[in-house]
Structures are given as structure tokens and as C-alpha cells.
């Protein structure tokens, strides 16, 4: 591991991000451009995220399944907008088993088409609906500019695909799952998000309406942290997903899809991280507590280790994910820095002085330096630690929310908007016209991140063109 100082967030945010991901050993570059390896520490974080989400999916009635990686090229071509949107970024397999394939296969960029094909086979009656299936897996999109976790050629995610008998039911599902994402990202990842609808130019290729949760990163740029789409009958028509309704009428089903990827790991890094490294929310951290034993010789070691053993047992018993760093070849100082880089929420130091005083030293990762350090009694330690983890979780969300809110402004003029989006988000009226949106992008590089679900009574005129406004929108530069 490198012991050089990190680049700072202020000096070079994107290099700071890369270095944290690499040094915390969450990921590494793979030999193919744009591909990455999720290392055990990063994967453990992803596993915790999967569990937290999967539990919510099951609670809302969904089941898991697995669909194939290869999709016939012709499937994507069945939905016009879909193929137009995805064709520039497809990986295509033309050969297999040493010979040229009759029809090229696409490595799935998303699975609407192959799942639509299967749903057409499975759905005959309104009694077969709804179908509520989720899949955990990876997809491939041939992106030009890649970043670890944020945009890679192959990325891990989950994609939910549902089919319903009515438009209303499908729309409800779309918003329900957006709400599930918001709940997870806010309460588990401690990343505040705004739920909203995508403008036409930003919506998913083939959807009627796309919804999104948008988060603000430490450099004030926006990151889409999850999306949920209402497909209307577009894919049902393309794949003949038809059923007989309760009146014996043949109808096309209404479908949805929703996805959230390991990009949210990147969102956590860029929301919570500091110049010491990563800061992970206790609910998702692979290790919530690291214990560093401190001793100089065998006498001290034999006094300290039994206490470490007892404390670690107690914490495990209280349900904490803990790690005892018993490495002999590095110094305590090195370990402190190492675990701070990895973002472990709480560090316990147990040394000869603590053994003597029946105490432990406790350091909060979210409050660096002396301010976050305290000494607590070994008595009732587990309950104090559990409580502290909860406090950290809450305070991380509060801090991130305060940061975000302090960088959202309502412009008073178009000139004002162009200034605001240089270092924050603009919350403003919009007329709904795509040309206006394009003009803003051309002038400022900012796009409409979403039209928030939470809309006030909108009066007045569009910030860009002066025509009557139809909704409030967030404008920001995005990842």
C-alpha cells in the first residue's frame, strides 16, 4: 500500500477519488480498458448493499431469477428507441465454437428484451399478472470514458422487470421501487437523494417515463444513483406480451424496469470521503469496528490480548461486524492510517494503559483527529459501541444533507443560473421544452437532473426562455 499523502479533494477531486478506491483496495484496474476488478473489500461492501436491497425487494413481493447473458441482436431491434439508444454501446459476439454465428449475439446492456420474450411465453391471462422478478448480475455497455465503479464496460447491478394488467398498477410499481431505492440510499448509504422524473431527453431508451434518484457529490456534481422506468406497452407490443383480461379481451401488458448498480459505492466515496480516505456508513461497512491491540513486548502483549479477545467477543455478540488487526509487521500508527483509508466507522485501541484503567480508546472515523477520540470504560462497552454506530450513521446523513442543501440555489435570472451551476445545483422553473434544456446544456454543461416528485404550485416563467413554466427542475452538471 502506498504511504504517500492522498491528493486532496480540493486540489484534484477526481484523482482523490481514484486513489481512495485503489488504496482502500476496493477495486483495481483490469487488463482490458474500462474494466475493473472488485477486490474483496469492495465486494464485501457490495454484498452488504445487495442484502439490504434484496430484503426490501422481497418485502415488496419480488422474487429473484437469472436470465441469459447473450441476447439475439434481433431482439434489441424490435423496440425502435431501445436499439437507437443502445446500439452505440453494444458488445457483439459474432463467433462461437470456432465458427461464425448465424445471428450475432449481444452481450446484454440491460435485459428488457430477453425478459420481454420470456414474459410473452409466460403470460396468457390476467391471472398470470403481475410478474415481479428481479435479477442480480452484470451487464456490458461499451462506454468511451470510464471511471472505477462509476462507469465501467461491465458493471454489477440488479435489474427488476415487472409486468402488470393495468397502466396504473405499473406506474405505482415504478414509484414504489423508486421509493425503495431512496429509502436504501438515504438510510443505509447515508446519501441524501432527490426523487424525480427525467426529462424526455434524459429518459431510458424505450421508456414512457423514467424516474431517478439524484445525489450531490462532494464536488457538487450530480450523480444518478438509481432509476425506475414505466415502459407503458412499448416492450409488450414489441414482444407480444398479451393476456386475456377479466372481460375476455386481449390486451398488452404494462411493464416496468428498475436498476441500481455498484455505482452507489462511488456515490458513498464522493459523498462521505475526506482527505484521510474513505468514510463508510456503519450500516454497510464491511467492518464496523476495527480493534488495534497495542503492546511493546511479550509482557504487555500477554496482558493486552485477553482483553482484546474479550471485547471482540462481546462486540460480535452484540451483532457488530468487527476486525481485530493483529498484524505484527506494522506499527499501530500505520494501522490507524490504513483503517482510516478504508473508512471503518469506529476504531478501538486497546493498550497497556487501557488494561490498567479498564478502558478503551475509541476513535470516530466521521470526526477526524482529537475531536473524534474518547476513552470509554470496558464496562457496558458493547452497548456504547452499538449506540455510537447509530449516531455515526445519523450524523453522516445529516452532514451530507446540510452540504447538499447549502449548494442548491434558486436563480433569479438565467445569468444567475449559469453562475449557480458552476458550483452547485439550480432549482428553477422550466417550460418543458427540450430546446430550452439543450440551450442550458450548451451554455453551461448542466442538464436537467430531474423534475422532483415533490412539486409546488408552479407559477411564473421558464428561467431560460421566459415562456410559462410547467414544473420546477434541478439543473446541474452531472457524472
Q: Which residues bind RNA (CB under 7 A)?
A: 1-3, 5-6, 33-34, 85, 88-89, 141, 143-145, 151, 205, 224, 227, 276, 294-297, 328, 330-334, 336-338, 340-341, 349-355, 361, 363, 369, 373, 447, 478-479
Q: Which is nearer to RNA, 136 or 336 (CB)?
A: 336
What torsion, rounded to 10 degrees, do the Cα atoms 380, 385, 387, 389 define? 180
N-terminal to C-terminal alpha carbon distance within the chain: 28
Q: Which is nearer to RNA, 123 or 292 (CB)?
A: 292
Q: How far apart are CA 453 and CA 450, in angstroms?
A: 9
Question: Can you state the angle between helices 40-59 and 167-187, rounded to 10 degrees?
Answer: 140
Helices (H), 240-287: 263-272
Closest among 7, 4, 70, 3 to 273, alpha carbons compared: 7
| Shortest Å, Cβ 363 to RNA | 5
Half-sphere exposure of 329 (CA within 13 A, CB side): 0
| Shortest Å, Cβ 298 to RNA | 9
Q: Which is nearer to RNA, 199 or 224 (CB)?
A: 224
Cell numbers found for residue 36: 475493473
| Shortest Å, Cβ 56 to RNA | 22
Q: Which is nearer to RNA, 18 or 60 (CB)?
A: 18
What are the strands of the beta sheet with 70-72, ordered from one edge? 70-72, 99-107, 91-96
Q: Which is nearer to RNA, 6 or 129 (CB)?
A: 6
| Shortest Å, Cβ 429 to RNA | 23
Q: How far apart are CA 396 and CA 439, in angstroms?
A: 36
Cell numbers found for residue 128: 398470470
Q: Which is nearer to RNA, 165 or 228 (CB)?
A: 228
| Shortest Å, Cβ 148 to RNA | 10
Q: Cβ(272)–Cβ(153) under 8 Å?
A: no
Q: Which is nearer to RNA, 365 or 429 (CB)?
A: 365
Tell me the backbone φ, ψ of residue 208, rounded to 5 degrees: -80, -45
Residue 4 per-residue DSSP state: S
Q: Cβ(130)–Cβ(164) under 8 Å?
A: yes
| Shortest Å, Cβ 359 to RNA | 8
Q: Which is nearer to RNA, 123 or 148 (CB)?
A: 148
Residue 190 per-residue DSSP state: -
Cell numbers found for residue 123: 403470460
Cell numbers found for residue 468: 410559462
Q: Which is nearer to RNA, 340 or 437 (CB)?
A: 340
| Shortest Å, Cβ 61 to RNA | 27
Residue 285 CA to its chain's centroid (Å): 14
Closest among 230, 176, 182 to 59, alpha carbons compared: 176
Q: Which is nearer to RNA, 26 or 131 (CB)?
A: 26
Q: How far apart are CA 5 and CA 18, in angstroms?
A: 13
Residue 164 per-residue DSSP state: E
| Shortest Å, Cβ 444 to RNA | 12
Amino acid at each position: 500500500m502506498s504511504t504517500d499523502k492522498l491528493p486532496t479533494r480540493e486540489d484534484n477531486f477526481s484523482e482523490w477519488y481514484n486513489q481512495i478506491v485503489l488504496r482502500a483496495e476496493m477495486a483495481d484496474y483490469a487488463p482490458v480498458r474500462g474494466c475493473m476488478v472488485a477486490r474483496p473489500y469492495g465486494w464485501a461492501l457490495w454484498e452488504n448493499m445487495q442484502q439490504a436491497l434484496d430484503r426490501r425487494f422481497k418485502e415488496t413481493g419480488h422474487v429473484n431469477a437469472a436470465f441469459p447473458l447473450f441476447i439475439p441482436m434481433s431482439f434489441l431491434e424490435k423496440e425502435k428507441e431501445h436499439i437507437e439508444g443502445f446500439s452505440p454501446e453494444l458488445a457483439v459476439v459474432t463467433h462461437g465454437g470456432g465458427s461464425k454465428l448465424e445471428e450475432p449475439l449481444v452481450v446484454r446492456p440491460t435485459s428488457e428484451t430477453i425478459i420481454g420474450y420470456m414474459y410473452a411465453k409466460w403470460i396468457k391471462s390476467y391471472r398470470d399478472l403481475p410478474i415481479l422478478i428481479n435479477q442480480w448480475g452484470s451487464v456490458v455497455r461499451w462506454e468511451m470514458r470510464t471511471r472505477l465503479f462509476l462507469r465501467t464496460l461491465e458493471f454489477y447491478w440488479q435489474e427488476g422487470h415487472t409486468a402488470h394488467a393495468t397502466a396504473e398498477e405499473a406506474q405505482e410499481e415504478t414509484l414504489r421501487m423508486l421509493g425503495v431505492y431512496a429509502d436504501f440510499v438515504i438510510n443505509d448509504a447515508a446519501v441524501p437523494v432527490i426523487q424525480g422524473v427525467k426529462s424526455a431527453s434524459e429518459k431510458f431508451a424505450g421508456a414512457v417515463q423514467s424516474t431517478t434518484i439524484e445525489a450531490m457529490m462532494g464536488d457538487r456534481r450530480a450523480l444518478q444513483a438509481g432509476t425506475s422506468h414505466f415502459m407503458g406497452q412499448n416492450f409488450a407490443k414489441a414482444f407480444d406480451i398479451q393476456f386475456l383480461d377479466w372481460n375476455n379481451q386481449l390486451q398488452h401488458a404494462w411493464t416496468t424496469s428498475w436498476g441500481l448498480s455498484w455505482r452507489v459505492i462511488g456515490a458513498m466515496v464522493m459523498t462521505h470521503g475526506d482527505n484521510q480516505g474513505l468514510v463508510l456508513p456503519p450500516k454497510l461497512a464491511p467492518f464496523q469496528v476495527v480493534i488495534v491491540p497495542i503492546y511493546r513486548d511479550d509482557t504487555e502483549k500477554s496482558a493486552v490480548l485477553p482483553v482484546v479477545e474479550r471485547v471482540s467477543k462481546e462486540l460480535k455478540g452484540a451483532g457488530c461486524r468487527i476486525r481485530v488487526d493483529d498484524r505484527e509487521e506494522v506499527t499501530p500508527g500505520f494501522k490507524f492510517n490504513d483503517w482510516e483509508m478504508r473508512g471503518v466507522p469506529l476504531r478501538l485501541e486497546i493498550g497497556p494503559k487501557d488494561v490498567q484503567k479498564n478502558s478503551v480508546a475509541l476513535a470516530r472515523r466521521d470526526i477526524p483527529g482529537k475531536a473524534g477520540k474518547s476513552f470509554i470504560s470496558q464496562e457496558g462497552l458493547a452497548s456504547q459501541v452499538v449506540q455510537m454506530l447509530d449516531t455515526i450513521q445519523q450524523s453522516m446523513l445529516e452532514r451530507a444533507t446540510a452540504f447538499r442543501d447549502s449548494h442548491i440555489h434558486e436563480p433569479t435570472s438565467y445569468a444567475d443560473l449559469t453562475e449557480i451551476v458552476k458550483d452547485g445545483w439550480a432549482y428553477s422553473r422550466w417550460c418543458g421544452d427540450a430546446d430550452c434544456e439543450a440551450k442550458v446544456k450548451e451554455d453551461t454543461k448542466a442538464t436537467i437532473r430531474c423534475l422532483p416528485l415533490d412539486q409546488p404550485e408552479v407559477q411564473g416563467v421558464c428561467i431560460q426562455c421566459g415562456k410559462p413554466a410547467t414544473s420546477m427542475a434541478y439543473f446541474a452538471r452531472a457524472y
